[in-house]
Amino acid sequence: MPAGLESRVAIVTGSGSGIGRDCARALAAEGAQVIVADINEEMARETVAGICADGGLADAIRVDLGDPLSIEAMVRTTVERFGRLDILHNNAAATHLASSLDGDIAEADPALWEATFRINVTGTMLATKFSIPHLLASDSASIINTSSDAGHGGDFGHTAYGVSKAGINALTQYTAAQYGKAGIRCNAIAPGLIVTPATADNYAGPGGDMMKRHHLTPRLGTPADIAAMVVFLASPASGFVTGQIIHVDGGLLSHQPYLADVAAARGKVTDSR
């Protein structure tokens, strides 16, 4: 069934590569006109070329989510080029900062912490802020934020990243509460482990097998899994869904933490595709 996105205009931040690229292509395949926004303009243009080759309509914009003026210009340019805005997918994040330097709290670097929040949380807030006046004119406005399972449970590292994603969850619900009656829906997708071309080698061996043990599905996630949810949340089919944090993670956070060990002890682990 078509998603009903014909004539809709969407912005997808961080769509020059990875999950964002698949999301932009999926929205365009359903008829949306897509602004591919990324700090790497060359990669954004590669995404646009792929969309256009498939018969879609898209344009590339360079955006720096650490720069309020750049974010404002992204929204303004979108409306100038396509005449409206219906869908905002706040996908971009400071993944380059979620490195070994983003460790435990006792070793936290305040500069890294602040940079992570400036891009992940403040950047998302500003994109939302500047988009709202235009989304109010749409008859089917949807904001889709990219959260993470990392915002729902502690880990040994990536502390700033995880806490910033918890902030995205709260921002999602505040936006939904404040603008729902005005016709703007706002939801977040919390991906679990998503294997991209850049990370596929990391999960081809024992590391991947270990992670599969803790999923309820027989495989790990792909960017297409996230893109499918983005299309749903962007479409009129999700018109009664707002203020939700939707986990697209193969059931990773939906069970007791010892489930994989119990299953193994009972001989229930039979497949690790």
Task: Report, as residue numbers or ranges, the catalytic residues.
Answer: 161
Q: Are 219 and 253 in contact (CB under 8 A)?
A: no
Query: How far is 58 from 168, CA to CA, in rounded Å?
Result: 27
Q: What is the separation of C-alpha 190 from the centre of its chain, rounded to a whole number of angstroms?
A: 7
Which two structure tokens, joined as six digits, stand for 2?
Answer: 């078509």
Query: How far is 61 from 59, CA to CA, in rounded Å?
Result: 7
Q: Which amino acid is at 240?
A: F
Three-state DSSP class for residue 50: helix
Cβ density class 122-151: b for 16+ within 10 Å, e for less: bbbbbbbebbbebbeebebbbbbbbbbbbb
Three-state DSSP class for residue 157: coil
C-alpha distances out from residue 70 to 65, 66, 77, 127, 133, Å: 7, 8, 10, 10, 17
